[in-house]
């Protein structure tokens, strides 16, 4: 792979010694594009923010994020990682989108997990569209204080890209889960639309109260996006930012690690980086988010394979007119619930599929309480 629109990293940013900057493959100035054979994770920056509804008007880059990341040390893992450099602004936003889609699609088809460091979050739409070429329905998880549904009839922006995913062909979006929304940033119309579409929305307080309950949501994701605006101004080290509420540093890194651990997550993106975040604490936190995602990938259980599922323990729970079928992994102790295949017509799923859940969902079912995520997924499959 070699894309002319990927600009190399400045050599002065690279560190010596045994830190990450010396151990990963980097697209450097005056050197050949790195060999991606065997690479598991490839990250790149995208310097695009023209569709931001509240632009700063100031240029930005990821040099200081890279400097902080390169100075970190690997954990107890040795995953092959590459830094592909940056995609500059194209002549138009569409040109930038095409470049993003091309890089992500290449990675998906070659078994590489692409990680996008972005400006405005409308870039997540281009990242999602890259899945058009791999022919699969997509489950999107977005860590964001807003739903970003917007008005799908208006031009795309960083607050309306999800609406474009819903209404634009090909219709690849099966489920959308928002983690950490704050009610006062979302209109009642958007909240009601999330309900009508059977999408998942979990408030900031609910996630913070029990962050471990989010693991099944991440386990079902293919694409995970993270809006840096979902993090509190204090955690980002810049109290001039607009919102004091949001995830703290430990919580956002835990969510990134859950995204990495998920066997299904094949693409990850960190968005809404601006010149206002070019502070040591902000850059270090973005670097640590990336670090925790990589560590999560290292600890994957690979339980998404048919051979692994044959070892699962099966439980049947009669409830009303249904028989809910649960599965438990004897290796990891994780739980799934079966979503039935409805009929060949109007069926988005091609076969019975397993929805990640918790042991609590199984215990609720034993008490005749139908798990809400099972109900929503089943209803999406029927309409």
Averaged pLDDT, 102-106? 97
Check residue 344 and give its pLDDT.
54
3-class DSSP assignment, residue 82: strand
Q: What are the φ/ψ torsions at residue 270 (nearest 5 degrees)?
A: -115, 120
Q: Which of 238, 271, 298 is the last residue of a domain?
A: 298
- At 241 the three-state DSSP class reads coil
pLDDT for 378 equals 87
Question: Residue 205 class from Cβ within 10 Å (0-12 exposed, 13-18 middle, 19+ buried)?
Answer: exposed
Confirm whether 46 is domain-assigned. Answer: yes
Say whether both 178 and 159 belong to one domain.
yes
- Do the Cβ atoms of 61 and 10 come closer than 8 Å? no
Rounded to the nearest 10 degrees, the angle between the axes of helix 280-298 and helix 63-70 is: 50
Looking at the structure, tell me whether residues 339 and 191 fall in a common domain: no
Q: Are residues 47 and 157 in the same domain?
A: yes
Per-residue pLDDT band for 340 (boundaries 50, 70, 90) equals confident
User: 317 and 258, same structural domain?
Assistant: no
Residues 281 and 364 in one domain: no
Say what the pLDDT of residue 351 is.
54
Same domain, 76 and 37: yes
Q: Which of 180, 176, 179, 178 minimizes the C-alpha distance to 164?
A: 176
Q: Are residues 315 and 289 in the same domain?
A: no
Q: Are 241 and 295 in contact (CB under 8 A)?
A: no
Among candidate residues 233, 266, 298, the one where a domain is terminated: 298
Q: Same domain for 145 and 203?
A: yes
- Are 221 and 262 in contact by the 8 Å Cβ rule? The answer is yes
Residue 88 has a pLDDT of 97
Q: Is 128 a member of any domain? A: yes
Interatomic CA distance for residues 62 and 80, integer angstroms: 21
Could you tell me if residue 116 is inside a domain? yes
One domain for residues 310 and 291: no
Domain identity same for 23 and 158: yes
Q: Is residue 1 part of a domain?
A: no
∠ Cα 20 6 70 (to 5°): 15
pLDDT band at 350 (very low <50, low <70, confident <90, very high): low
**DSSP reduced 3-state for 373:** helix
| Residues 250 and 334 grouped into a single domain | no
164 part of a folded domain: yes
Residues 94 and 240 in one domain: yes
Q: Is residue 245 part of a domain?
A: yes
Contacts (Cβ under 8 Å, ≥6 apart) of 106: 1, 112
User: Is the pLDDT confidence value at 10 over 60?
Assistant: yes
The CB density around residue 369, as the number of other CB atoms within 10 Å, is 12
In a domain, 336, yes or no: yes
* Among candidate residues 298, 332, 350, the one where a domain is terminated: 298
Give the total number of structural domains in the chain: 2
Cβ atoms of 10 and 30 within 8 Å: the answer is no
Three-point CA angle 267, 271, 273, nearest 5°: 145
Domain hosting 358: range is 306-382
CA 262/CA 258 separation, integer angstroms: 6
pLDDT bracket for residue 353 (50, 70, 90): confident
Q: Is the dihedral of CA 129, 130, 133, 138 positive or negative?
A: negative
Instruction: Residue 16: count other Cβ atoms within 10 Å of its Cβ.
Output: 7
Write the DSSP string, 272-329.
---GGG-SHHHHHHHHHHHHHHHHHHHT---TTSHHHHTT-EEEEEEETTEEEEEEE-
Chain segment 143-172, per-residue pLDDT in tens: 999 999 999 899 999 999 999 999 999 999
- pTM of the complete model: 0.95
**Residue found under tokens 């307080």:** 205
Model pLDDT for residues 303-338, shown as the tens digit of each residue: 977 777 889 999 999 998 899 999 999 999 999 999
CATH number at residue 278: 3.40.800.10
Per cent of the chain over pLDDT 70 is 96
Mean pLDDT rounded to a whole number for the chain: 93
């Amino acid at each position: 792979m070699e894309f002319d629109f990927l600009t190399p990293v400045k050599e002065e940013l690279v560190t010596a010694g045994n830190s990450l900057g010396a151990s990963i493959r980097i697209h450097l100035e005056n050197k050949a594009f790195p060999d991606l054979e065997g690479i598991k994770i490839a990250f790149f920056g995208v310097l695009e923010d023209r569709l931001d509804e509240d632009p700063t008007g100031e240029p930005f880059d990821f040099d200081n994020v890279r400097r902080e990341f390169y100075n970190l040390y690997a954990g107890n893992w040795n995953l092959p990682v590459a830094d592909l450099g940056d995609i500059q602004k194209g002549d138009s936003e569409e040109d930038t989108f095409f470049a993003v889609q091309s890089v992500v699609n290449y990675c998906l088809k070659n078994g590489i997990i692409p990680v996008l460091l972005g400006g405005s979050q409308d870039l997540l739409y281009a990242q999602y569209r890259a899945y058009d070429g791999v022919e699969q329905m997509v489950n999107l998880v977005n860590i964001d204080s807003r739903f970003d549904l917007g008005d799908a009839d208006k031009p795309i922006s960083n607050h309306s890209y999800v609406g474009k995913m819903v209404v634009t062909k090909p219709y690849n979006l099966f489920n959308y889960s928002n983690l950490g929304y704050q009610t006062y940033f979302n209109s009642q119309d958007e909240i009601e639309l999330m309900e009508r579409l059977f999408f998942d929305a979990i408030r900031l307080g609910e996630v913070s109260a029990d962050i471990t309950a989010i693991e099944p949501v991440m386990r079902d994701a293919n694409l995970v996006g993270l809006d840096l605006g979902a993090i509190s101004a204090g955690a980002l080290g810049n109290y001039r930012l607009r919102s004091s509420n949001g995830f703290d540093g430990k919580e956002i890194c835990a969510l990134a690690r859950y995204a990495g651990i998920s066997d299904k997550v094949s693409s990850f993106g960190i968005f809404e980086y601006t010149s206002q975040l070019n502070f040591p604490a902000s850059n270090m936190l973005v670097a640590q988010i990336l670090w925790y995602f990589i560590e999560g990938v290292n600890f994957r259980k690979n339980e998404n394979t048919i051979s692994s599922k044959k070892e699962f323990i099966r439980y049947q729970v009669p409830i009303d007119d249904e028989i809910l079928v649960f599965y438990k992994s004897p290796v990891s102790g994780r739980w799934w619930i079966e979503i039935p295949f409805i009929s060949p017509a109007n069926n988005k799923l091609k076969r019975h599929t397993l929805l990640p859940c918790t042991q609590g969902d199984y215990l609720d079912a034993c008490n005749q309480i139908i798990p809400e995520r099972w109900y929503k997924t089943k209803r999406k499959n029927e309409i």
